[in-house]
């Protein structure tokens, strides 16, 4: 049974590592989402700035530069969505690994519990047999004394 306790300890360590890996992956997803949100916010602010500056008139060259930059921001947002998608897949994978580790640990713990219960029952049966034997001897002696 002590060997199984060692296995549980090892499985707990692996489960903790898997949980940490999942947590880091989830933090990465959140950080990437924050980057996207920052990019989108910057894009909106840039558009507002163009609107405010454009009220007085803008040259064609300046207009094309603004459009080009907005296009680059749009492309950066699109790329960031891809990064988020890949990071989410990694986080989902890490979560599955963590869940599998939990299942393994719980399975070993269940085996230990079954062994403990079986040993407990065996001990109870042994005690009951001892008590039955004692009662039988006492009864036998009482019968012997009568005759």
Q: What is the DSSP annotation of 15-29?
A: HHHHHHHHHHHHHHH
Q: Is the pLDDT of residue 52 over 90?
A: no
In the block, tokens 């039955």 appear at 132
pLDDT at residue 141, rounded to an integer:
87
Strand, coil or helix: 57: coil
Sequence ranges of the domains in the chain: 2-116
pLDDT digits (tens, 9 = 90+) for 103-124: 999 999 999 999 999 999 999 9
Q: Where do the DSSP E strands lie in 52-142?
A: none
Residues 118 and 60: their CA atoms lie apart, in Å, by 86
Tell me the average pLDDT across 27-40. 98
Q: Which two tokens stand for residue 49?
A: 């700035």
What CATH topology corresponds to 2-116? Helix Hairpins (1.10.287)
Q: What is the pLDDT of residues 55-78, one digit of tens each?
A: 777 788 888 899 899 999 999 999
Instruction: Give the pLDDT confidence score for residue 1 in this predicted structure.
Output: 62
Q: What is the pLDDT of residue 69?
A: 95
Q: Report whether pLDDT(126) > 90.
A: yes
Phi (first) and psi of residue 52, to 5 degrees: -65, -45
pTM: 0.74
């Amino acid at each position: 049974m002590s060997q199984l306790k060692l296995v549980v300890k090892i499985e707990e360590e692996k489960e903790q590592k898997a949980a940490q890996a999942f947590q880091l992956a989830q933090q990465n997803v959140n950080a990437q989402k924050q980057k996207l949100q920052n990019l989108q916010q910057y894009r909106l602010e840039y558009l507002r700035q163009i609107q405010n500056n454009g009220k007085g008139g803008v040259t064609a060259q300046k207009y094309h530069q603004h459009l080009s930059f907005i296009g680059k921001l749009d492309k950066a947002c699109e790329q960031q969505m891809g990064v988020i998608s890949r990071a989410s897949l990694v986080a989902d994978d890490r979560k599955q690994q963590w869940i599998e580790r939990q299942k393994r640990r719980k399975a070993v713990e269940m085996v230990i519990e079954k062994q403990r219960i079986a040993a407990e029952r065996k001990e109870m049966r042994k005690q009951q047999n001892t008590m039955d034997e004692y009662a039988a001897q006492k009864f036998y002696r009482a019968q012997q004394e009568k005759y």
